[in-house]
Amino acid sequence: MPRRRLLAFAMRARRLRLLPVLLLVVVAGCATFDPPKPWEKGQLAKPEMQFDPDPLETKTTLHIYTSKEGAAGGYGVGGGGCGCN
Amino acid sequence: MAWAEAGVAATDGGAAPCGLRAPLAGEAAPTGPACTLLAAALALPGMLPAAALAQQAPDRGVLTLRYLDYHDWQPGASRMSVQSPSLYLLKPLSESLALEASLVYDAMSGASTIAFNTMSGASGLGVTDYRTAGDVKVTKYFDRYAIGVSGAYSHERDYISRAGAVELRTWTEDRNRTFTFGIATASDAINPTDRPPEEDGHRNTTDFLFGVTQVLNANAIVQSNLTYSTGHGDFNDPYKIADRRPDHRRTLAWLTRLNQYLPAPDATLRLQYRYIHDSFGDDSNMVEAAWYQPLPAQFAVTPLVRYYTQSSAYFFFGPPLGNGFVPGEPYTTDNRLAAYGAITLAVKVERAFADGWSADLSLSYYQQRPTWRLFGSGSEGILPFSARWIGVGISKAL
């Protein structure tokens, strides 16, 4: 894609609905930025702290949303498509 | 789907029992691979290994079986039913090499959603179809980076998809920040069941991903991904009358996720927000919140709420049929490209057992309504759409 068209596309994408973003930023901002030492990462290693603790459940759930909603993506790349959308 | 999952190693490893205590005075801070022992030490019931320990290969594998029962409907009409068994395997091949694979089989029956009075081809007349999909990913881990290569294949009676992806993850020396780069390509062949072969379609898609994962503190981690997708080819729905869509599609998706452990209730709050800008015009916003709460006797419950809102594709037209149709111009009546909002309510109950076994049951209810759309009006004349799905899973650490 020509660079000018890519920039125009990105500029149009900046019509963001900022309220959810601001909300997430505020919530994240309430967390103290204090990167832990290696021996302090026990909690982070637990499954409930992973972004995809159950890859199979995530895969099937996202497939449902992909087939029933207009927009999809953002969680990763690869995996191919389907005739569902 | 091969995830560009960017997690954080438990520790950096070393001679000392890593992670169980801070180093004593005069003792060197632990470094090196031995701190994978932390994952093993925490291998209590339910502590399944996860590929999301994305800075080192897992110590153990995991095998998961899942069964999904899905059903959707509109007012006065039952629609699609899907029964879907699936399987997932995570297997360390060596100390620095890991394999992931999954296999899904969908048995579909029923009718797709009615777009007012539009019926053509298989849509609306009732379908029985199947989908078999599989993917494999191999990840090689190095000291400060990991490379993953994956392939995927999906087959239906009227659709074949082949895809491949490469992913690079690299992290800072303290392993608190991870950068992820991914590229994927897919080639899809569309062979409608009610058309002659000369009307078969084809499309190619390429995706690019850039993500950053940052450990905020000992109890919080945040991830933000930008994904750009560009596709060319046949995007039409062959089973809808006069469906004609642009032959190219570009989307830009921004996903941000936060996991926060809360010591007081001993719970984990998971938040996520996603914005998608789509050249088709169906821009969307999605927010989701889940609360993971451990319970006595190795049980845990996770209630979840998700809200989704999208604008309509610029070539979507509501009833009556033919409204807005201009020969040669893009046109669709596909409800999925209408303007609406949608809410999901779900709850998952899981239990850990001895010897690395665990089981879970999840219930989800979903509904779309034009009146639920935010940031604008919903499409008129579109019926509400509802769905529910029930999932049962069982896992075993290998």
Question: pLDDT for B136-152, tens place per residue?
Answer: 999 999 999 999 999 99
Question: pLDDT for B325-346, tens place per residue?
Answer: 999 999 999 999 999 999 999 9
Task: Give whichever of B17-26, B44-53, B145-154, B234-243 has the largest mean pLDDT.
Answer: B145-154
Q: Who's near B339: CB < 8 A, 6+ residues apart?
A: B310, B311, B312, B316, B370, B373, B376, B377, B378, B379
* Cβ atoms < 10 Å from Cβ of A39: 23
**Residue of A21, A39, A65 for testing the chain B interface, max B β-carbons within 10 Å:** A39
In terms of Cα–Cα distance, which of A64, A71, A85 is closest to B334?
A85
Which residues 341-360 on chain B approach chain A with CB closer than 8 angstroms? 342, 360
Chain centroid offset of residue B243 CA: 27
Q: Who's near B176: CB < 8 A, 6+ residues apart?
A: A35, A36, B8, B214, B215
- pLDDT class for B83, splitting at 50, 70, 90? very high
Give me the residue from A17, A24, A70 closest to B271, CB to CB: A24
**Single-letter residue type at B259:** N
CA distance B130 to B104: 10
Question: pLDDT for B118-127, tens place per residue?
Answer: 444 444 446 7
Q: Over the range A63-73, which residues count as b (16 or more CB within 10 Å of their CB) and which as e? A: bbbbbbbbbbb
User: Mean pLDDT in chain B?
Assistant: 85
Which residues 109-138 on chain B approach chain A with CB closer than 8 angstroms? 131, 133, 135, 137
* Cβ atoms < 10 Å from Cβ of B77: 12
The total number of residues shown for chain B amounts to 398
CA distance A82 to B234: 13
Which residues 82-111 on chain B approach chain A with CB closer than 8 angstroms? 84, 86-88, 100, 102, 104
- What's the token pair of residue B36? 């994978």
* Contact residues, chain A, for B285 at CB < 8 Å: 17, 20
* Contact residues, chain B, for A75 at CB < 8 Å: 1, 3, 225, 255
Of all residues in chain A, the one with the smallest CA distance to B88 is A56
Longest pairwise C-alpha distance within chain B? 80
Give me the residue from A36, A48, A78 closest to B165, CB to CB: A78
CA distance B295 to B284: 36
Give me the residue from A35, A68, A74 closest to B274, CB to CB: A74
CA distance A6 to A73: 19
From residue B120, give the alpha-carbon distance in Å to each of A1, B114, B213, B241, B297. 35, 10, 46, 6, 53
* Cα torsion through B9, B228, B378, B236, rounded to 10: -120
Residue B260 reports pLDDT greater than 90:
yes
| Bond preceding residue B370 cis, omega within 30 of 0 | no
Say yes or no: B279 contacts chain A, CB-CB below 8 A: yes
Higher pLDDT, B365 or B10: B365
The three-state secondary structure class of A49 is helix
Residue B34's pLDDT is: 36
| Contact check, Cβ <8 Å, A1/B230 | yes
CA distance B358 to B45: 8
* DSSP assignments along B322-336, one per residue: TTT--TTS-BB--GG
Q: State pTM to two decimals.
A: 0.84
Alpha helices in chain B (DSSP H): 37-41
The end-to-end CA distance of chain A, in Å, is 24
* DSSP assignments along B153-197, one per residue: EEEETTEEEEEEEEEEEEE-TTSSEEEEEEEEEEEEEE--TTS-G
B114: closest CA of chain A, how far (Å): 13
Which residues 175-194 on chain B approach chain A with CB closer than 8 angstroms? 175-176, 182-184, 186, 188, 190
B76: closest CA of chain A, how far (Å): 19
Question: How many helices (H) and strands (E) would you count in chain B?
Answer: 1, 16
Return the residue matching tokens 């719970």.
B267
Residue B128's pLDDT is: 80
Give me the residue from A10, A77, A82 closest to B156, CB to CB: A82
